[in-house]
Amino acid sequence: MPPAKTKATRPAYRCAECGWTTSKWAGRCGECQAWGSVDVAGGERTAGRTVAAAVTRPATPIAEVRTEQAQAVSSGIAELDRVLGGGVVPGAVLLLAGEPGVGKSTLLLESAARWASAGRRTLYVTGEESAAQVRLRAERTGALADELFLAAETDLGALLTHVDEVAPSLLIVDSVQTIGSAQVDGVPGGITQVREVAAAVIGRAKSADIATLLVGHVTKDGTVAGPRVLEHLVDVVLQFEGDRASRLRLLRAVKNRFGPVDEIGCFDLTGDGIVEVPDPTGLFVSRHERPVAGTCVTVTMEGRRPLLAEVQSLTVPATAGGNPRRTSSGLDSSRVAMILAVLNKHVGLNFGQSDVYTASVGGARLTEPSVDLATAVALASAARDRPCPSDLVVIGEVGLAGEVRPVREMAARLREAARIGFRRAVVPAGSETADQTSGLRVAAVGDVRSAVRAALGGDQP
């Protein structure tokens, strides 16, 4: 009998981002919607074929595991240590992401110099610049140190050789998307290459207890470029943020296996390098010779740090026959639209024939709901042309029914306002204010109408 015909097996395709599989190639993943992440799966896997292998270290009772080598070491930059939860843990791998030109390389070069100045060997590998370019920037910012070694490489094998020869306690790779391996298909920055480079660097860091900082590019929507698995492999993901029109930079932890993710670090990016800003609260408040209508000061929480911020608003008559404009800068436009509707319904302020402009001061991005009440008071102040008192702060969340809701950490917010020199506050009823700094007069309100009356005086336009 002729042999039976066997059906040819079709290749399987797998998404490198989420693991979704399909029998046909697709340019976009049907599960996570990532573009260019679907490729041929790496061969068939048969369950039960993996055999036992030699262990690297024997299993130990958890109470007997020594933790001395996992203690955090200060980086020399207090604001960075604050975000990391005390310092850099040996063997930890950190991923720093940010937009081009925000100052990532400057921050890491300063970190490398501070680390090396303490007598600890540091290796800085750059794949985007030449060694001479980095040296010139180091001279300008004062980041030269004897224990700081510099290498310009784009090959993974050469990078690992530098690590073996220098034996650093801190490794900085700028950036992970520029490093490639000749043994892996694809171009540097591709999904396969980034995964291989990250796995190799992380493996070396863990085995030799080398603290490692990786620079990562971001996409146009602000997320880390490359495969999502990169963020899962590292121990800490840091986001470096800043407005191009402002020198202020904010460093926040998106993921942190060794500390909190609700802390931020503040830096000032200057022509001579990057400088820590331990007390940034006054940067988001403008100074006026006399009270100005349409402005209101609030206290927002960035992580566990209270920061004063000013909300400004402007209302002008709309052009005849045109649709009224609604423009926001630094504020959530959808929340501003909601607050306009609440003021119309519950306070009697009609903005239907007015162009409304709202903004924050100093490039701050105010997305916390506690800014709602200050935005409402600023809009009412602009509509009535009646300024808020210069010594008043307004804090609270606004609901669609016109109610004012309590927010977290109210006592810490009020203490910060009193420290700066404010004497009065409008807060939601029921807020915990027992341990506030003495001398601050607090008006507790339950609805937006009462808040506007307490802040501006009177109830009619």
Are 367 and 239 found together in one domain? no
Are 128 and 169 found together in one domain? yes
Q: What is the pLDDT of residue 461?
A: 42
Are 339 and 396 found together in one domain? yes
**Does residue 127 belong to any structural domain of this protein?**
yes
- What count of residues does the chain have? 461
**Does residue 54 belong to any structural domain of this protein?**
no
**Distance between CA atoms of residues 127 and 88, nearest Å:** 23
Are 312 and 239 found together in one domain? no
Are 259 and 372 found together in one domain? no
CA nearest neighbour of 159 among 127, 199, 112, 194: 127
State CA 425 to chain mean position distance: 29
Are 247 and 308 found together in one domain? no
Range of 438's domain? 283-456
CATH code: domain of residue 113: 3.40.50.300
Q: What are phi and psi of 162, to 5 degrees?
A: -60, -40
State CA 23 to chain mean position distance: 38
Q: What is the pLDDT of residue 283?
A: 73
Are 261 and 336 found together in one domain? no
List the structure tokens of 371. Answer: 């800014």
Which residues of the chain register pLDDT less than 70?
A: 1-11, 17, 42-50, 219-227, 321, 432-438, 458-461
Are 29 and 123 found together in one domain? no
Measure the CA angle with vertex 176, ends 171 and 179; round to 5°: 100
Residue 81 and residue 251 in contact, taking contact as beta carbons nearer than 8 Å: no
**Does residue 64 belong to any structural domain of this protein?**
no
- In this prediction the pTM is 0.75
Tell whether the torsion through CA atoms of 364, 365, 369 and 375 is positive or negative.
positive
Q: What is the pLDDT of residue 341?
A: 96
Q: Which residues pair with 316 in a beta bridge?
A: 355
Q: What is the pLDDT of residue 269?
A: 86
**Does residue 51 belong to any structural domain of this protein?**
no
Are 243 and 144 found together in one domain? yes
Question: In total, how many domains does the chain have?
Answer: 3
pLDDT in tens, 231-286: 888 999 999 988 777 778 889 898 999 888 878 888 988 878 888 988 877 777 87
Q: What is the pLDDT of residue 45?
A: 44
